[in-house]
Amino acid sequence: MNLNELRRLVKDTIAETKKPKRSKNYKTIAESIAMMSERTDMSASDKVSEPVRELVDKLEKAAKDGDVSTLHSLLDTKEGMSQELHYILNGGLNYDGASDDDVVKITEETRSVMDLSPTQNEIDFMKSTTFGLALKSSLDGAMGLWGPKQGGAISVAGNLVLDGHHRWSGCFALNPFGTIQVRNFEFPSGVDSDGQKLCALQLAVASKRSPGQKLPSASAGKGTNILGASKSSIEGHFESALFQTVNAGDTTGEVLGDEYIGFLKDMPQAASELFDLSPEELETAFTKEQIQGGMRYQDCPARSKIMAKVADNLSALPSNPEAPARTDMPQLDHDDIGGGGAFTELRSDMQAGEVNLSAPFLEDKNESIDIRRWNKLAGILKD
């Protein structure tokens, strides 16, 4: 209420009190005072600009429909990247009129790799195989727990992979019956379908980007998506992967290089259980120099068997043709939002209900005025 409005109402009220009998206009004055006093105490939702409110309406529809692609597109618009929406996405306790509707429970657990299913329709060959076929730590993880030395836990909701698909497929490539480290998300009521869960995570990611910054995105390499691919098709990709250098922090290795063959010689149980390799096959393996000198890698007793086994495993990956494209998938640990450190903060915020990820995202404008108090104040002054 501004000063002129207040002055006018005071004058009208004084004039009414001087009358022998209060007229019906007295109630109108009281109602105006009540309404304007409410307006001076506007909620955070009331202060949202119309362009952003219109965007939020569209975001709510996309989130309820589980339409990850549309949600992604909306979040990358001018209004979607605005400071104003940034406040809303980080205002789960302030903007929607509820303090507990955005709380997400996140627990550290393990899963059998075979029991998990993807929520994206692309899995890249290179990202699924190169680390597993170059580093000793990958052999250790495949035989024990995959995760601590393979990029950390993946994000799941029950048995659905939400983020970390290539860590999952990387373990599947070596050992479909292995165990993988997961962080399990239990979403609030109303976030139930696969699409709704992905939308909720994408909104969470958006809350951690800087205003003006598009959402982080990733895609499978051109022509190397292996979901639904045959064993022979997958085997064809090894030619371009063979002897590529892999870097994992301070550790480096070569895909199916001589050092990797040496690891398997020192780990006969892993060689046998993962690839059905005998000590004799490993001892007669061609060297890198021999292969580069003209001997066919396909004829190498050890490498040919490893490639066949990995291709067979990956051809059995469960596919999800209805899933969104990888470009629309949430990237919880992406460098664009601060990497793993950002997820630690995001996790805390989600568990506290501070990330506005469950529709509605804004309190209804009409409901932000307390009608009961309005009626009470107006009724006090009845004749």
Q: Is the pLDDT of residue 86 over 90?
A: yes
Decide if 357 is inside a domain.
no
* CB 245, CB 252: distance < 8 Å: yes
Q: Which pLDDT value is given to residue 51? A: 95
Q: Verify that 34 and 111 share a domain, yes or no.
A: no
Between 202 and 46, the higher pLDDT residue: 202
Residue 178 belongs to a domain: yes
219: tokens are 């895609």
| pLDDT of 256 higher than 70 | yes
Summarize the confidence of residues 294-322 as an average pLDDT.
Answer: 95
Q: Which residue has the higher pLDDT, 3 or 147?
A: 147
Indicate whether 160 pLDDT > 50.
Answer: yes
Number of domains in the chain: 2
* Banded pLDDT at 20 (limits 50, 70, 90): low
High-pLDDT (> 90) share of the chain, %? 68
Q: In terms of residue numbers, what domain contains 151?
A: 105-186+229-316
**What is the average pLDDT across 53-81?**
96
Average pLDDT score over residue span 70-99: 92
Q: Could you tell me if 137 and 7 lie in one domain? A: no
Task: Say what the pLDDT of residue 243 is.
Answer: 98
Whether residue 335 lies inside any domain: the answer is no
Q: Within a domain: residue 111?
A: yes
Is residue 160 domain-shared with residue 252, that is, in the same domain? yes
Q: Are residues 140 and 267 in the same domain?
A: yes
In a domain, 52, yes or no: no
Whether residue 359 lies inside any domain: the answer is no
Within this chain, do residues 246 and 164 fall inside the same structural domain, yes or no? yes
- Residue 18, pLDDT > 70, answer no
Share of the chain above pLDDT 70, in %: 83
pLDDT (tens digit per residue) in 279-296: 999 999 999 999 999 999
Same domain? 306 vs 375: no
pLDDT grade for 371, boundaries at 50, 70 and 90: very low
Mean pLDDT of 62-85: 96
The pTM for the full model equals 0.79
177 shares its domain with 292? yes
Give the residue, 197 or 373, on which the prediction is more confident: 197
Q: Say if 73 falls within a structural domain.
A: no
In a domain, 170, yes or no: yes
Provide the mean pLDDT of the chain: 86
Give the tens place of pLDDT for each residue, 216-242. Answer: 987 655 668 999 999 999 999 999 999
Residues 128 and 7 in one domain: no
Flag whether pLDDT at 360 surpasses 90: yes
The answer to whether residue 275 scores a pLDDT higher than 50 is: yes
Same domain, 115 and 257: yes
Q: Same domain, yes or no, for 244 and 129?
A: yes
> Are residue 127 and residue 255 in the same domain, yes or no?
yes
Query: Of the segments 43-52, 91-100, 181-190, which one has the largest average pLDDT value?
Result: 181-190
| Span 105-143, pLDDT tens digits | 999 999 999 999 999 888 999 999 999 999 999 999 999
Is the same domain home to 9 and 137? no
Q: Check pLDDT > 50 for residue 381.
A: no
Domain end: 296, 316, 336, which one?
316
Looking at residue 144, what is its pLDDT? 97
pLDDT for 259 equals 98
pLDDT at 14: 58
Mean pLDDT is lowest, of 86-95, 103-112, 330-339, 368-377, for 368-377
Predicted confidence at residue 269, as pLDDT, reads 98
